[in-house]
Structure 1
Amino acid sequence: MKRWADHALARQWQQVPAGRKALLKAALWGLALVLVWQLAWLPAQARLQEAERKLTREHEIGVLLQRVTRAPVRVGGVARRTTPASLSESARLVGISVTGLQTRAGQVDISLQGPPAAVLSWLHSLEQEVEQLSNIQLQREGEALQARFVMELPD
């Protein structure tokens, strides 16, 4: 095997003037830096930004879950009587609009809509108070959450 110094390319490189050698070396170093940038730095930055977006979304979901899972405060431990009028009033107080309220045979069909956190929190507190909710249907409508459910009225 030939030694590097005896190789034709090595002889041609030695014949290149010093100024041009410096220019070629600078161009090769620049090309190497661009390759390192494209292959290592940019994909890492993209992964970092994606991880930040996911973390922000998970944080938002965590805040929403904390709001929803807070237990309702009962005044003096006394449960109040649940009527269609009291349901409508309690929903209005937390910023939920009742869009439908029908009573039939000891049941109330309720349709309402409002901000997701308010609707879920209100449903959670109602379920703890009444414990007789059925056929709960949730549907997202833009920024609002619509809920429909059936509740058994106490005797």
Structure 2
Amino acid sequence: MKRLNGKALVHQWQQLPAHRRTILTLVLWAVGLVVVWQLAWLPSQTRLRNADTRLAQEHELAALLKRVTQRQPQSAGTSEPFTPASLSERARLAGLQVAGLEARDGQLDVNLQGPPAAVLGWLHGLERDGGQVQRLQLQVVDEQLQVYLVMALTEG
């Protein structure tokens, strides 16, 4: 294999007609631009698209977080009032058995029973929704938790 030296290449270049040298120069510039395009521009565009996608996802998550955080305080203020009917329905939905509900003098006396996890979840929901418990007695009978509860009655 013959080794090419710089002087021989320059001599061959100069031997080419001027229009061919111009065409070859333009082709070399075009190839150079394509290489620059492939190595620099396209990867940066891909990174830019990925960044735009991530930004859009972050905006969606921020909007969701804003809706959730705005909904929580509103739920405490706009929840249905604590009435005998609403408490009985909540207890039924939680899988509890209501033994008695009595409303008197702005208070509501509640007797109910059920599995401990369901009872504690129901009590937590009452507290979270703004229920004002004035007295609470818990008693375990067999595998059931019995509750006697006195709370402030919300008229609605």
Normalised to the residue count of structure 1, the TM-score between the two structures is 0.53
Residue 11 of structure 2 corresponds to residue 7 of structure 1 = no
Shift of 1:23: 1.0
Shift of 1:153: 9.1
* CA distance in 2: counterparts of 1:41 and 1:33, whole angstroms: 10
* CA distance in 1: counterparts of 2:22 and 2:91, whole angstroms: 83
For structure 1, the 5+ residue unaligned runs are 1-5, 89-99, 111-123, 132-151
Matches within 5 A, 1:1-155: 7-70=7-70, 71-72=73-74, 74=77, 80-81=81-82, 83-85=87-89, 101-103=94-96, 105=113, 107=119, 127-129=128-130, 154-155=149-150
Corresponding letter in the other structure for 2:41: W
* CA distance in 2: counterparts of 1:63 and 1:130, whole angstroms: 29
- In the alignment of these two chains, the number of paired residues is 104
Corresponding letter in the other structure for 1:80: P
* CA distance in 1: counterparts of 2:61 and 2:126, whole angstroms: 19
Quick one: structure 1 residues 23 and 125, their matched pair in 2 at CA, closer, same or farther if it must change by over 3 Å? farther
* CA distance in 2: counterparts of 1:125 and 1:65, whole angstroms: 24
For structure 2, the 5+ residue unaligned runs are 1-5, 98-112, 133-146, 151-156
Shift of 1:108: 7.4
Greater CA radius of gyration, 1 or 2?
2
Normalised to the residue count of structure 2, the TM-score between the two structures is 0.53
Q: Secondary structure at the match of 1:48?
A: helix
Shift of 1:130: 5.2
User: CA RMSD of the aligned region, Å?
Assistant: 3.7
